[in-house]
Amino acid sequence: MNNSFITYCEINLDSIIHNLKWVKNRVGEKVKICFAGTKADGYGYGIYEVAIAAIESKVVDYLGVAIPDEGIYLRKKGINIPIIVFGNILPEFAEKIVDYDLTQTVCTYDLCEKLSYYAKNKNKPVKIHIKVDTGMGRIGVFPEDSLEFIKKVSKLPNLKIEGIYSHLSSVGRDDEFTKEQINKFFTVLKILENNNIKIPLKHLANSASIKKLPETYLDMVRPGSIIFNADLPELKQVFSLKSKVVYVKKVPKGYRIGYRGSFITKKETKIATVGLGYIDGYPFLLGNEKWKVIINDKYFPVVGRVCMDQIMVDVGNEDVKIGDEVIIIGKSKNCEIKINDIFKELDFYNFLAPSINKRVSRIYIKDGRIYKTKTMLEEISGRNRN
């Protein structure tokens, strides 16, 4: 793809739609989908563009955000689909939840009281989802306190308990603990059933659970990273990150490269400098031959310490020139680097995409063509722009 950007990422909205449809097919027609991938600026891919793709998939029933401002932003952009705020908020922000018709996660009575107060004053209902802490240790009511909490909250006017959920912390990492969490949540649901308390939406499954634990699907699932990271063969890659060679020079054997001279050339070679660094989202730990990039359909090692704005690549005697494309994440004809390859190398999940700096231009692909380009300085719309 020819363009005037030095460093840019391509976000394939068609792949997001495909992956969401795959989730729907996996969980079944009766199970709703709350797409958690709109939180944190759409996992770094662009909250509005990702939300629109999710809606266009026609399989998403809810969007999930972390904080009210994300939901408010989407409302102001004209999105009317139900939006669940996953994070606990301070009571003073309750009025915004009511004003913008957001659905709020709750685990404190003070917040419920405030939500009820504003909903009653404005003559509007407000929906809430009860969060139960079964072992994540983040937010949520303890399972043993859930019944009394729900009974107390249910008496507040204009407050509708639409959902109850928990979050599994260790799927695929600690099967025993995961079973404990599932059993705790199911015990809460059984207690509610025995007390004739009916809550429409019970949800437990996150991305890892969708892949591994069908018993957790319940009434709704919450896919997030599974949509973007595409670590199953049936899923399509959403994201690629590319840059360009900005400088090439031949250096002698024994030449020091980068901060602290941490890489020393073993022979005469060519060093290509590439126009992105750790501030753009390239992991700092992947310097000094720990990782590679693709240039002209070949792999080359990154050498020296990763700089804030640049990386150096040892290209040997290959014919690499200023302006050549450098693939950080993505594929050429015969080579490919997946985002999950980097996660495995770092043993640090989901590191790269949310860290992409706003100065890195975004190119959105839809219907197989460029749909929109976003830069730090401007947003250019147009399907045929190159």
Confirm whether 259 is a catalytic residue.
yes
Confirm whether 255 is a catalytic residue.
no
**C-alpha closest to that of 25 among 63, 55, 59, 51:** 59
Cβ partners under 8 Å of residue 128, min gap 6 = 103, 104, 105, 106, 112, 115, 153, 159, 160, 161, 162, 163
For residues 326 and 319, what is the distance between their CA atoms, to the nearest angstrom? Answer: 14
CB 172 within 8 A of CB 212: yes
Could you say which of 179, 190, 259, 349 is catalytic? 259
| Strands (DSSP E) found in 81-227 | 83-85, 103-106, 126-131, 159-165, 201-205, 220-221
Query: To which residue do tokens 């932003």 refer?
Result: 73
Could you say which of 8, 24, 32, 39 is catalytic? 39
Torsion of CA 287, 291, 294, 297, to 10 degrees: 140
Catalytic residues: 39, 259
